[in-house]
Structure 1
Amino acid sequence: MQSLGVSGNRKVMQSGTCEAFQSLSHQRNDEEAVVDRGGTRSILKTHFEKEDLEGHRTLFIGVHVPLGGRKSHRRHRHRGHKHRKRDRERDSGLEDGRESPSFDTPSQRVQFILGTEDDDEEHIPHDLFTELDEICWREGEDAEWRETARWLKFEEDVEDGGERWSKPYVATLSLHSLFELRSCILNGTVLLDMHANTLEEIADMVLDQQVSSGQLNEDVRHRVHEALMKQHHHQNQKKLTNRLPIVRSFADIGKKQSEPNSMDKNAGQAVSPQSAPACVENKNDVSRENSTVDFSKVDLHFMKKIPPGAEASNILVGELEFLDRTVVAFVRLSPAVLLQGLAEVPIPSRFLFILLGPLGKGQQYHEIGRSIATLMTDEVFHDVAYKAKDRNDLVSGIDEFLDQVTVLPPGEWDPSIRIEPPKNVPSQEKRKTPAVPNGTAAHGEAEPHGGHSGPELQRTGRIFGGLILDIKRKAPYFWSDFRDAFSLQCLASFLFLYCACMSPVITFGGLLGEATEGRISAIESLFGASMTGIAYSLFGGQPLTILGSTGPVLVFEKILFKFCKEYELSYLSLRASIGLWTATLCIILVATDASSLVCYITRFTEEAFASLICIIFIYEALEKLFELSEAYPINMHNDLELLTQYSCSCVEPHNPSNDTLKEWSESNISASDIIWENLTVSECKSLHGEYVGRACGHEHPYVPDVLFWSVILFFSTVTMSATLKQFKTSRYFPTKVRSIVSDFAVFLTILCMVLIDYATGIPSPKLQVPSVFKPTRDDRGWFVTPVGPNPWWTVIAAIIPALLCTILIFMDQQITAVIINRKEHKLKVYFNINFNVNYYDLTDIN
């Protein structure tokens, strides 16, 4: 009979003879590993209650797992009286009469294993770096272990030729190799919580166990030991011989307070695993190897990717000609030990998997090594490996993994195709927790309403309750926002946000100026965006949201101006009334917690709205290009023989309009006194003259190449910006340079095109921005009354378009905030959606 202890305490108070339970721990000599000799015994099947599984974290439970009969006790090197006491405790478990709970499925056993809370820190899971080494034999050269693959999150292989690493990809495994791995764990040597300081000690303990169990002949033991002690060659050693050494703490790789030690750059050869370690005492008084490391052999760039506190898992596989059977061992060290030269990076090793076998099955051994390495990166099996008490726990972890895998038919998929890592890895919490009955809400289930949920989207049932809670959530971060702004990392964001804000403001300002005949143009848009943007960044709930005109707002402004022009109403006065009503309606939305409706916005709505904005941008750009073809037409009737006869002159208009006559009269201008032939183009245009001649267009003389040059600039801007945006995935320059170029793709494109346009000297149309701070039109000031020349009832009627404008602004800005708040953006600060709407109210008045 075996006894499995699952509680942190060593004993449980006995209450009565019939209910005596003893929680047994894996007590052992500090110099001896726990050897699991169980071979092919299967996991027993006994029913248990869900409450027992869910509550076993806090209960003291002694679980006795019968193995089909009384097993003769094997003598160990323990003290005799303690050993006999343990026998009596086991016998009391037999006489107890209680049924020992086991599990119907591997998932249930895994969930039970992961539910145990060990006080021992050595069983707390850490991040793992896994390395696969294969032994290489070459004629005339000594054998060595060569690194062929590694896993941090995904698999990376040494490419053909051994010159560089592949891109990380999702590992695809053979189902047969997984079953072979299961057989290896089931029948091989499993040593848990081994105390060792060097690779030589580990090899001795593994081989001693192999010999004692009859799995390895004594006459080849020494040769296998020599093979395990061969030098390890890592892929990065070719590139890093000239790197300057930097010393880092190995016990905790992520600590920032490492003390640098000066080391000789050319400090000899690579340190072999057999070298004597310089032992230090850790906090648990356990010896740990921490020898001096030659950092010219270390890939410092890759070390930055390893999480703090990570440990190593080493996989050693290969063929040995003198073996007639496989040598398999799974070792878990306690504590983790820094084994010099074994892993690519100098971090403590926790797990070792050794698979050596006869010749002819090298590819099979390689696939088994990939299988165990991939399992160690699996979130669930990774935790099982740390908390396993015996080999049955490891087998259950493999079986649970097999329950989750998907098999692809061999004739319908090319195994050589590498699967790119997903952007978002699904959570594995459901695999760690027990299943719940139908109709019960599962723990960690998908968020409702399209994934938008949180305290900021909950209805409070109080007037302005959501706004008050938003202010409370924002207050703790208010001053930190100012402190964080002084970080150098924010400089790139400043420049990017400046371009992101200025470009659409000036662009839409010019479009609004054309749509409203200069009543709202670039200077008004720039002034409004600067004032509202600064205030919103200081007090808004989501400062990453950029305020400004968008495509739907531009369409609304065009419709409103057209309506005012048809009914001879003052556009600015009516717009002021609409702004006041819009602010009032938005305040009502904030007071009633209407922002909670955002949780019903689906991903489809977000994408549709974002697509609408893009389509409006594209449409406006193409429309502007077609307008240029009318303003700067192509002279289709050119005749080079008559080139000397081409001319364009200004003449008095034949039928001047009443507005033109009124303007002449107010300016005391007489058409007969003007020498029209001597006027410049701008003077002729200001006096409403007409152009005549074969070199004249509709409104001004032909300007060669303007249209074609504008088309070239148009498509060059699109092509260059798209190319620079994809520059991040190119092969040129370091990763950091590619990222910077990609982030500033639009800004760099605009800058280059403006400089090229300026250098050519072609008079392409430019956006006219006033050089002085004043309204675009001289017939109005900065302040506009809501009534103005309009009838009084227009103030009340403005509530109808204000309702439409409120819906538009609410949808526009809130969907933008929801897109920013997506989980993939990993925002760690507040998201105050009610506060956003409240601020939009005030900016609408502007």
Structure 2
Amino acid sequence: RWMKFEEKVEDGGERWSAPHVPALPLHSLFQLRTCLEKGTVLLDLDATSFKEIIDKALSGHPEEAELQPALRERLAALLLLQPRHQPTKSLLQLLAELALSPCQGIPPGILPKAKGRSEPGAQLSKTPLKEQLRNRFRKKVPPGAEAAHVAVGEVEFLEKPFTSFIRLRHGVSLGSLAEVALPSRFLFILLGPPKVKTYQEVGRAMATLLMDELFQRVARQAEHREDLITGMETFLDELIVLPPGKWDPSARIPPPSSLPSPCRRTTVDLPEQHPHGKGHMEAAGDRGSPGHPRSGEELERTGRLFGGLLRDIRRKAPWYGSDFSDALHPQCLSAVLYIYLATVTNAITFGGMLGDATANMQGVLESFLGTAFAGFIFCLFSGQPLTILSSTGPVLVFERLLFSFSQDHSLDYLEFRLWIGLWVAFFGVVLVATEASHLVRHFTRFTEEGFCALISLIFIYDSLKKMLSLADTFPINWQYRLDNVTSYSCTCNLSSPGGWVRGWGGPKVSTHDPSSPPVLSLQPPTAPEGLSRTQCLDRGGHLLGTSCQYVPDVTLISFLLFGGTFLSCTTLKHFRSSRYFPVGVRKLVSDFAVILAILTSCAIDAALGLETPKLLVPSELKPTNPARGWIIVPFGANPWWMCLVSAVPAVLVTILIFMDQQITAVILNRREYKLQKGAGFHLDLLCVSLLMVVTSVTGLPWYVSATVISLAHMESLRKESETSAPGEHPEFLGIREQRLTGLAVFVLMGVSVFMAPVLKHIPMPVLYGVFLHMGVAALNSIQLLDRVRLLLIPAKHQPDLPYLRHVPLRRVHLFTVIQLLCLALLWVLKSTTAAIIFPVMV
């Protein structure tokens, strides 16, 4: 059978072979051309049954070779016999047949005959059999597909070959003829006197020809025999011949990872240009080269105030209803949980750093509330709702510098920040009104890859840095020796250190040391017993002993959880392309890969029972710093002229926000993601600008698009074809574009304060492992990494990449080296206080 690729029934007759590219003898193609030239060709035949088709095919034989009535009857009887199919069975069916198969000593025939095996001499059924309707192979057939039948064989009563090519006017169900109940349009019959393998190879050539997309178009539109011959000649023009003796003909060529588009191959002069042919060409043209839509209408200037914004709104409005209905898919649930945990971790991380930089004027709670509010509003009204808002590194650097400046000059930080935010919002609206987003046209692959690579490396670096900091919080005793186990102890001294020196150390209690038995120490009769480390420190005591500073196993198990989560996420995400389990199970595991990895790691952590650092979520709705409120008063604390001076730093923040937002938008709206609902560069910038007003008035952090989390969001919503031919990789169909996943993520962010009892069981190393996975996945999505690998691969072992065919290798390496040097410069820049201008440097 053929569906994109060839499959054969193995010698045992119980299973289909692996799909492979058909290898045809060249002579069989020439014989097939002869069959089409001299045999019967019936085009647009009106028939409703296979018997009617056979009668017309036999009566339509050329007059010079007209069949005798007796011979015609014998051929008709032969062709109307029920063919024997090899059904595609599930694992459960195979196990059931194995259990019921005849054992040694049991005569054959006692057990019922296997389904799908016809009796010898049975006639073709006019209606599809149950086995056809239940065949699992039907799941791999795309909607609208039709079957073609190739019947070849040796017949002793024929002296000359009988050949017939038939095309029906309309697809017709031919009863039990096909393996799967599908309408049929093409039939090819070749019967003749015995010849060794000749007919079989001609039949394989015909089936291969019918699987060719270009020949299919010719065969559907052909009006004469010559049109079919022309289509076959074009097929032969593209044929690649392998010399004999240079390869093994019995070897099966595996299917390639990608196939060339029919529209990029040699075009055929079709007899008649039907509309559907043009549609295929246009569809392929829409899948242009990767990159963002530089020539799309999203970035064209209208020359009117807010013209680009109005066009964005008109473009997105018709899709607004489907932005919610398209989210009704189990894959969206996985995306919500995945992005929620990533966003929670990010909010806690940036909230903690903001608290350190601003004396808790903005802390973890403000980060939670700001992320929930800003993200919800953005996903509800933005032009690209797949974007995830978050605090970013450059914004954090600016907040630190602004707070230091305010402290040095005795200014109220939050009031000063309020006016800067209002000016930024004003400048942002001006940029929207003047259609400044058209500057995105000038962002090249060099810029996009540099920005994406830097943000990805920051995620990777920060996750590793957080894990290494655990070694300081929970140090490992590298000098541990088994012989010294008796000297390890830790006691609590409630008296002053001087009293201990004078000979009495006060009441002491030994803490738990897993490497040695409890060490008992003499206590006065009135001393409290069983003091824990926390109780000892709360009472003003201090710990004494050789093992007090070490926390056994916590750092090691944290690194195991960290690495295990990362490897689990990566492995399960690629499980979709694995060979194990049915395709439905693979898709389900791949969609919920991150959630399964997190749940597994949490279960391991709970089973071990060690006190690993856990996720801490604020449980009270009150400002982190009691000295501030939820509404920032614009006047009173600073001189009146500060509201005007604030415009100067606001210009820098505006450039920062504009570049950060638009570069991320460019990356998310690449053509390679096959987005169908269009972009909204102007609308997105307006939403971010207006949110600056609210977050500044309430003293919440400022937010802009988060590149890595947004890319992870899109990757978790990838759509692939539900049906794919055996041996064919599922086709990437695009991204599940909708608003509901983002809205659900930020609603969960808002209620996270009330879910603290549940979230506190998630170890932080597990979330750091998710961060590492996100950074690595985003880094793997850019071409820069492929070109870096080329620097380390000898030329003869390099993969066959398209750009290597057209660009000299030295120029590719030069481009890569320059990109790496610029990336290193950006990394150095972002590590200093000059990081505030990092988006401009990009």
Could you say whether these structures have the same fold, taking a TM-score greater than 0.5 normalized by the shorter chain as the test? yes
2:84 maps to what in 1?
Answer: 233
Q: Is the 8 A contact 1:648 1:695 kept in 2?
A: no
Q: Is 2:565 the counterpart of 1:723? A: no
Give the match's secondary structure for 1:232: coil
Q: In structure 2, what residue type is equivalent to 1:477?
A: W
In 2 relative to 1, CA 588–427 (structure 1 residues): closer, same or farther, beyond 3 Å? farther
- TM superposition shift of 1:456: 2.6
In 2 relative to 1, CA 539–395 (structure 1 residues): closer, same or farther, beyond 3 Å? same
Q: Is the 8 A contact 2:492 2:536 kept in 1?
A: no
Q: Is 2:42 the counterpart of 1:194? A: no
Q: Is the 8 A contact 1:327 1:354 kept in 2?
A: yes
Counting only pairs closer than 5 Å after superposition, residues 218-617 of structure 1 correspond to structure 2 as: 223-236=74-87, 291-321=126-156, 323=158, 325-362=160-197, 364-406=198-240, 416-420=252-256, 422=258, 425=261, 427=263, 431=267, 450=291, 452=293, 453-483=295-325, 487=328, 489=329, 491-514=330-353, 516-517=355-356, 518-549=360-391, 553-554=392-393, 556-558=395-397, 560-561=399-400, 564-565=403-404, 568=407, 576=418, 579-599=421-441, 601=443, 606=448, 608-617=450-459
1:780 maps to what in 2?
Answer: 628
Aligned residue pairs, count: 623
Q: Is 2:490 the counterpart of 1:647? A: yes
Task: Select the residue among 580, 583, 597 that pairs with 1:735.
Answer: 583
- TM superposition shift of 1:560: 4.9
Q: Is 2:463 the counterpart of 1:621? A: yes
Task: Select the residue among 599, 612, 618 that pairs with 1:751.
Answer: 599
In 2 relative to 1, CA 433–344 (structure 1 residues): closer, same or farther, beyond 3 Å? same
1:634 maps to what in 2?
Answer: 476
**Alignment partners' CA distance in 2, 1:686 and 1:607:** 52
Output the TM-score relative to the length of structure 2.
0.64
**Alignment partners' CA distance in 2, 1:208 and 1:330:** 13
In 2 relative to 1, CA 682–568 (structure 1 residues): closer, same or farther, beyond 3 Å? farther
**Alignment partners' CA distance in 2, 1:571 and 1:720:** 44
**Alignment partners' CA distance in 2, 1:405 and 1:795:** 71
Q: In structure 2, what residue type is equivalent to 1:724?
A: L
In 2 relative to 1, CA 685–368 (structure 1 residues): closer, same or farther, beyond 3 Å? farther
- TM superposition shift of 1:526: 2.2
- TM superposition shift of 1:755: 2.9
Q: Is the 8 A contact 1:817 1:833 kept in 2?
A: no
1:438 maps to what in 2?
Answer: none
In 2 relative to 1, CA 215–738 (structure 1 residues): closer, same or farther, beyond 3 Å? same
Give the match's secondary structure for 1:524: helix
Q: In structure 2, what residue type is equivalent to 1:416?
A: R
Q: Is 2:559 the counterpart of 1:711? A: yes
Q: In structure 2, what residue type is equivalent to 1:529?
A: T
Counting only pairs closer than 5 Å after superposition, residues 163-174 of structure 1 correspond to structure 2 as: 163-165=14-16
Q: Which has the higher helix share?
A: 2
**Alignment partners' CA distance in 1, 2:452 and 2:11:** 44
State the percentage of identical aligned residues.
39
Deviations 1:42-82 (A, max 9, x none): xxxxxxxxxxxxxxxxxxxxxxxxxxxxxxxxxxxxxxxxx
Give the match's secondary structure for 2:163: strand
- TM superposition shift of 1:345: 2.1
- TM superposition shift of 1:633: 1.3
1:693 maps to what in 2?
Answer: 545
Pair member with larger Rg: 1
**Alignment partners' CA distance in 2, 1:591 and 1:410:** 69
Which stretches in structure 2 are left out of the alignment for 5+ residues?
A: 95-112, 271-280, 499-526, 696-842
**Alignment partners' CA distance in 2, 1:388 and 1:621:** 62
Give the match's secondary structure for 2:646: helix
Q: Is 2:646 the counterpart of 1:795? A: yes
- TM superposition shift of 1:225: 4.0
**Alignment partners' CA distance in 2, 1:231 and 1:181:** 25
Q: Is 2:35 the counterpart of 1:184? A: yes
**Alignment partners' CA distance in 2, 1:217 and 1:241:** 50
Give the match's secondary structure for 1:298: helix
Q: Is the 8 A contact 1:574 1:794 kept in 2?
A: no
The higher-RCO structure (CA 8 Å, 6+ apart) is 2
Q: Is the 8 A contact 1:632 1:707 kept in 2?
A: yes
Which stretches in structure 1 are left out of the alignment for 5+ residues?
A: 1-148, 244-264, 278-290, 435-441, 656-674
- TM superposition shift of 1:746: 0.7
2:784 maps to what in 1?
Answer: none
Give the match's secondary structure for 2:390: coil
Output the TM-score relative to the length of structure 1.
0.64
Give the match's secondary structure for 2:612: coil
Q: Is the 8 A contact 2:19 2:255 kept in 1?
A: no
**Alignment partners' CA distance in 2, 1:424 and 1:687:** 75
In 2 relative to 1, CA 300–828 (structure 1 residues): closer, same or farther, beyond 3 Å? farther
Moved more, 724-733 or 574-583: 574-583
Give the match's secondary structure for 2:342: helix
In 2 relative to 1, CA 689–241 (structure 1 residues): closer, same or farther, beyond 3 Å? closer
Q: In structure 1, what residue type is equivalent to 2:204?
A: R
In 2 relative to 1, CA 199–241 (structure 1 residues): closer, same or farther, beyond 3 Å? farther
Counting only pairs closer than 5 Å after superposition, residues 761-772 of structure 1 correspond to structure 2 as: 761-772=609-620
Q: Is the 8 A contact 1:177 1:371 kept in 2?
A: yes
Deviations 1:703-725 (A, max 9, x none): 21111111111111112222222
1:12 maps to what in 2?
Answer: none
- TM superposition shift of 1:340: 1.8
Deviations 1:115-152 (A, max 9, x none): xxxxxxxxxxxxxxxxxxxxxxxxxxxxxxxxxx132x
- TM superposition shift of 1:626: 1.1
Q: Is the 8 A contact 2:218 2:228 kept in 1?
A: yes
**Alignment partners' CA distance in 2, 1:717 and 1:347:** 46
- TM superposition shift of 1:313: 1.3
Q: Is the 8 A contact 2:351 2:366 kept in 1?
A: no
Deviations 1:485-515 (A, max 9, x none): 5x4x2x5413422431332332342254146
- TM superposition shift of 1:627: 0.8
Q: In structure 1, what residue type is equivalent to 2:40?
A: T
**Alignment partners' CA distance in 2, 1:786 and 1:268:** 81
Q: Is the 8 A contact 1:272 1:340 kept in 2?
A: no
**Alignment partners' CA distance in 1, 2:207 and 2:638:** 79
